[in-house]
Amino acid sequence: MSKVYVFDHPLIQHKLTYIRNKETGTKEFRELVDEVAALMAYEITRDMPLQEVEVETPVAKCKSYLLAGKKIGLVPILRAGLGMVDGILKLIPAAKVGHVGLYRDPDTLEPVEYYVKLPSDIEERDFIVIDPMLATGGSAVAAIHSLKKRGASNMKLMCLIAAPEGIERVQEEHPDVDIYVASVDEKLNEKGYIVPGLGDAGDRLFGTK
Ligand code: PRP
Ligand code: URA
């Protein structure tokens, strides 16, 4: 069974309150999502392996550390996942970015895949799949499946807000993928929206509605 990590850092929780607020406009919403994504990237990379190296400072030689292990790939689920990419790239600038395009059919709530483009060295990377919202879990499950089908073997899922239903579905279908969120909310409503959530993440990020 995969683990669920809730980032309770005060800055993340503070900014999430403004992200949730329906009075927050597109510009501020986008900036806040970017900032929270960067803070979450800091937390999600805590377990990255290090290797000891020697460095010569202007004063003396010493042992120090550099990142080791596989390189990172980011995979935002289009479209709302795009809003978190730049924030993460501020901390992991060399990450390659793949894209999985999915939308939820408004009637069935099932994900429909319309685009996939991933880095060619997929087997050499650990992936972070990114989407602000984990609602029914259909989109995340499909995106992870899409990556696995193409050779990705190690990935984490990073979302701003998750519903318990979405977490359960990802854990059932992808027990090897840990989930990192800023909040686990109460439930889904009859339209598949997270309650209280933040509304439609894509619409709020891009000003469409
Ligand atoms: C939203 C959100 C997730 C998905 C979550 O995308 O960004 O991708 O819904 O719902 P699920 O867990 O029930 O699958 P949406 O389908 O609205 O597309 P968009 O990002 O293009 O707006
Ligand atoms: N997608 C969103 O953007 N918001 C939700 O609450 C659920 C799915």
Distance in angstroms (rounded) separating the CA atoms of residues 57 and 53: 13
SS3 64: strand
Those residues with Cβ within 8 angstroms of residue 166's Cβ, 6 or more apart along the chain or in another chain: 134, 135, 136, 137, 140, 188
The predicted pLDDT at position 1 comes to 86
192 CB less than 6 Å from ligand 1?
yes
Taking only the tens of pLDDT, the chain with its 209 residues reads 899 999 999 999 999 999 999 999 999 999 999 999 999 999 999 999 999 999 999 999 999 999 998 999 999 999 999 999 999 999 999 999 999 999 888 888 889 999 999 999 999 999 999 999 999 999 999 999 999 999 999 999 999 999 999 999 999 999 999 999 999 999 999 999 999 999 999 999 999 98
134 is in an annotated binding site: yes
Q: Is 39 annotated as a binding residue?
A: no
194 is in an annotated binding site: yes
Q: Which atom from ligand 1 is nearest to the alpha carbon of 137?
A: 12
Q: What's the whole-model pTM score?
A: 0.96
Shortest-distance Cα residue to atom 2 of ligand 2? 200
The set of protein residues with a Cβ atom below 6 angstroms from ligand 2 is: 80, 133, 135, 192-194, 197, 200-202
170 CA to middle of ligand 1, Å? 15
Q: Which amino acid is at 36?
A: V
Closest-CA residue, ligand 2 atom 4, reads 200
Q: Which of 8, 17, 105, 108 is catalytic?
A: 108
